[in-house]
Amino acid sequence: MNETYSFLKERTKVNFVSTIDGERPSCRPFGDPVLIDGKIYVLTNKQKNVSKQIAKNNNVCIVAYDNQDWIRINCKLIDDSNNMKAKQAIIDEFDWAIDAGYTLDNPNFQILYMADVNTTIYNEDGEILYTENF
């Protein structure tokens, strides 16, 4: 888990989350993840299409590139929006969170953690540098 988290948090600014929208893939940029109680979390708004797509099929693929290596993460995103401790940790992590509407009383503030994770980090030549599962 440490390599996956480090790559997303420290080596890249943006990662791309792909979901299924009906029968088609859909991809969008996400920001920093947060590590809480041994789980990697991401946040979104329940009103967004990504949230609705994950509710229908929580299998996602996350890809990021650090100008040298790239990562592919296949995982499930598990809704943990009732976890107020984790939500508070996310609010504390990002100084922009409250201004963006991510408050404990906002029912659309959604947090999801990665589960059944299969990560592979590749170099630019496509050679596998590292794999981890958690």
pTM metric for this prediction: 0.95
Residue range(s) defining the domain that contains residue 93? 2-127
Residue 103 lies in a domain: yes
- Residue 25's pLDDT band (cuts 50, 70, 90): very high
Note the pLDDT tens digit of each residue in 36-82. 999 999 999 999 999 999 999 999 999 999 999 999 999 999 999 99
Closest CA to 30 of 38, 40, 18: 18
Residue 57 DSSP class: -
How many domains does the structure of the chain reveal? 1
Residue 41 lies in a domain: yes
Residue 39 lies in a domain: yes
Per-residue pLDDT, 126: 96
Residue 55 lies in a domain: yes
DSSP 25-68: EEEEEE---EEETTEEEEEEETTSHHHHHHHH--EEEEEEE-SS
> Domain of 16: which CATH number?
2.30.110.10
